[in-house]
Structure 1
Amino acid sequence: MSAAARSLFGRRARLRWVHLILGGALAMPYFLVGSVIIGPVTGSTDVFGSFPLQLASFAVGLPLAAISSLFPLTRPLESAGVRWLCDVDADRIAMGPARTWGEKGRTAAWFTLHLGFGGIIAGASLALPPFAAVLIVLPAFAELRDPRLGLPEVFDHTWASALAPVAGAASLVALAGCAAGCGALLARWAPVLLGPTPEDRLAAAEARAADLAVRNRLARELHDSVGHALSAVTLQASAARRLLGTDPEFVREALAAIEDTTRRTVGELDAVLGVLREGDAPGTAPAPTLAADLDGLLRRTRAGGHRVTARVEADPEALPTLLSREAYRIVQEGLSNALRHSGDRVTVDVRIAVTAGRLDIRVENPLSGSASSRPGGGHGLRGVADRVRLLGGTVTAGPTAAQTWRLHARLPMTP
């Protein structure tokens, strides 16, 4: 099918034609009300028998349609029709009710145009095809020239009768062209009259940004809690397997640590997934903090065979809840890195102190061999950097001259 034929009879053109026919159907009640007004005004008893009076009735009905478009559901319904039938991108159309007078005015203009164009195209679609069909078959049926059938007298001539099929086919093509043109105009005007305002676009952008921020936060929580738990459980199970026959007490402690780690992680996972599951109530497990679980975090890490020395020179109970929670995750990530990337049974040094109005956190452990990078740990360190940045602090992570790996974060005590 050529481009010209597709523009007149393709799927898009057909759907827009349907949209116009629906507009004509919606215009019919207003047309009938207009005819009730025009009849007494003109003194006519047969409004439908006069084409000028029909046009006058239609013209009177359109302002009534504009007034009725103030009904709140008008814009959502019209917007849905435009999206489905006019091939207009969804993000260019506002689906909610018109709130301001400007939006209501644009909705009224759109509704009037839809019903105006739709009424004209629908009327032509009802009247023109039968007339065109008569013209097409006119040379084969001479009795169709009977004046009582309403054909123009010009078709009584032989030359006109021979050209009648051409005129009939041309009238159908003209109808398709008018429908396609009106449909294209409505599709072009729809984003202007039914589209979101700059305020709507700003609100949508802010909502998307807020949703993205929530998703990023949940991703960090999942990475930190589940990632740490898997590293810890793997190391604890490995240590228990190696010492199964020689140190039953250590194996018992490792299994208890695995149970404690998995139980706590399932609670944290349920809390995070509760936020992600739309319609579900969020989980009730509180986010861990230094005050609530620092000792448990260190104990579970030691159960995997690592020696952890901790110097806590700050009162966890006195820290703000948000600061304590984020500091816990930073310490957790530092210990997770040590579990994943250092050798067996190494010493991990943890220091938490308050200096110069800032919470100072350091997690340090020996490098494994001559490695100076940690493949696979980038997401966790990026998560730490995001947490620190949101709190207005600073963070560094990397090898030191003493062949250790150090994670060092400084967080302000107050926002």
Structure 2
Amino acid sequence: MDNVYLDYNASTPIAPEVIEEMNPFLTDYYGNPSALHWAGNPVKEKLMNARKQVADLLHCSADEVIFTSGGSEANNLALKGYFFQNLQKGKHIITSTIEHPAILNQLPFLEQLGATVTMIAPDRYGRLSPADIESAIQPDTILITIMHSNNEVGTLQPIAEIGKIAKKHAIAFHTDASQSVGKVPINVDQLDVDMLTIAGHKLYAPKGIGALYLRKGTEIEPLIHGAGHEYGLRAGTENTLLAVGLGKACEMAKEDVNDNKLEPLTKYFWKQLREIFGNGIVLNGHEEKRLPNTLNVCFTNKIGQEILDSIPMLATSTGSACHAGNVELSPVLKEMRVPEHIGMGAIRFSLGRYTTKEEIDQVLHWFKERI
């Protein structure tokens, strides 16, 4: 076995079924979906079907799905769009210290425009306290944004509990579910969210496509102004090719999200690693409330990147950066208060639809042989 890919949280391959669904849009379906003739009408129909496929996975209405260029744009549309539209209500935003940069790096920009931000820290498992979030609410709080699951350590957040708090206080609630959609069941009503972010390349669709779920009645200002595409919230001729790919990926995810085959394989991997390394390996994140495919571990007193450098056949990622001999922990591990001598050995393994037990056994062999 030459190479093994265990970096599915970074990006997934495009599913063959998705490629097959997209192929006709490179040749036959070339019309503009807004054109009212024989070339445009069938494309519009396919676009609306893709929107319904996304909606069915989230258990929402098709007209609550706004296609975007990916998770980052959806996050920006949610935060900036809601802030700009609702300035008269207040300017206070609540978030966490372990959000994705697509959330965190917007905040200084919004602060320049008058926003005030409260950031909630997690516990040592990377989990947030709903009570801490409720305590942070101020009279002018207009938005809470908390990720559904952490992309690094896999910890699932108590989104439904936070959603109830937001609803009780009449505050809009957004969750970045880029890493969760397709891995765990998502129901926007059960979560009590007003906005939710999807990134296509995290669930076997192409890069460059995503979506924002926007609950009816939640008003946001568009980031891209122009014609009335995407219900007037994202101008520009729709990328039907990629939207159809996302739709098919969501249809496939709905079929298998409740029949998760990855959790047993991830648990097997963790059990075998513990048998090899004993007390020399530590699990990051919550032991139970976690994504079924994500295994973030620390090899104590070792440097994660040096471990991966010794196994170039393995594609995965580290939780620290090494510069000229100095190790810098990821912001997430820092916020979880992981000691440096442990955190410097962090590696995130993320399994996916095409991961096999044979591949896991091969990786275990490499670790036995080289580490």
**TM class by smaller structure:** under 0.3
**Which has the larger strand fraction?**
2
Structure number with bigger Rg: 1
Q: Which structure has the higher relative contact order (CA within 8 Å, separation 6+)?
A: 2
Instruction: Give the TM-score taking structure 2 as reference length.
Output: 0.21
Instruction: Give the TM-score taking structure 1 as reference length.
Output: 0.19
